[in-house]
A and B are shown apart, each in its own frame.
Chain A
């Protein structure tokens, strides 16, 4: 596609439910990042995929968070047993290995009631 696509754009869920957020990166981009942006805060790194390398999961805040990237393309971020503090905008970005520049999607706004 022309840009990074994320879905859903908005998600409202009840505390304790599981949610899945999807990211479709720019075709050919080998690197994919997930960030979390809470209200009034900067971007908090969650996880990074680069080609076939093991992902850098150092930013995942708890074991309720997981992510996978299938076939080196689409990625899914899963949050299990959601809690109110998980409410945030989840941003996905992709980049070419060599350029360093990140191209962002519009984000998925998660609201946990």
Chain B
């Protein structure tokens, strides 16, 4: 079974600074997807960034980037120039295809990291 571990239950950062959230996972699969989702106080989860395991290049989305270390099974999220609106719960997630022909998906989430951006 896949497990996703986020070792930092809570973190804080000053506005405009950079912060890195860690995530490790355990799998024997070679092909899979990794995601970071953000859940602000409004409760709705939104996708921050995704990474396909077969891609060596780290994904980036504006101020958000990942450091994907496949051999180490590590997938950390870096937030640059932190903004107050980045305050949220961040979840790391692992997805693999399962079932006949890989037609279904199995998605496993970590327990989350609560990030607070201070003014």
- Which A residues touch B47, using CB under 8 A? 101-103
- Which B residues touch A71, using CB under 8 A? none
Known: A33-B107, A53-B104. A89 touches B43 (CB 8 A): yes
**Which segment, of B64-72, B75-83, B109-117, faces chain A?**
B109-117
Say whether B44 contacts A97, CB under 8 Å.
Answer: no
Complex: A104 Cα to B39 Cα, angstroms: 10
Question: Which applies to chain B's interface (DSSP): helix, strand, loop or mixed?
Answer: strand
Interface residue count on the B side (C-beta < 8 Å): 23
- Which B residues touch A50, using CB under 8 A? 99, 103-105
Kindly list 18 other residue pairs between chains A and B, CB separation below 8 angstroms, not including A45-B108, A48-B104, A104-B44. A42-B111, A43-B91, A45-B107, A45-B109, A48-B105, A50-B99, A50-B103, A53-B99, A53-B103, A53-B104, A91-B45, A93-B45, A95-B105, A100-B50, A100-B95, A102-B35, A102-B47, A106-B43
The interface of chain A, by Cβ under 8 A from chain B, is 31, 33, 35, 41-43, 45, 48, 50-51, 53, 56, 89, 91, 93, 95, 97, 100-107
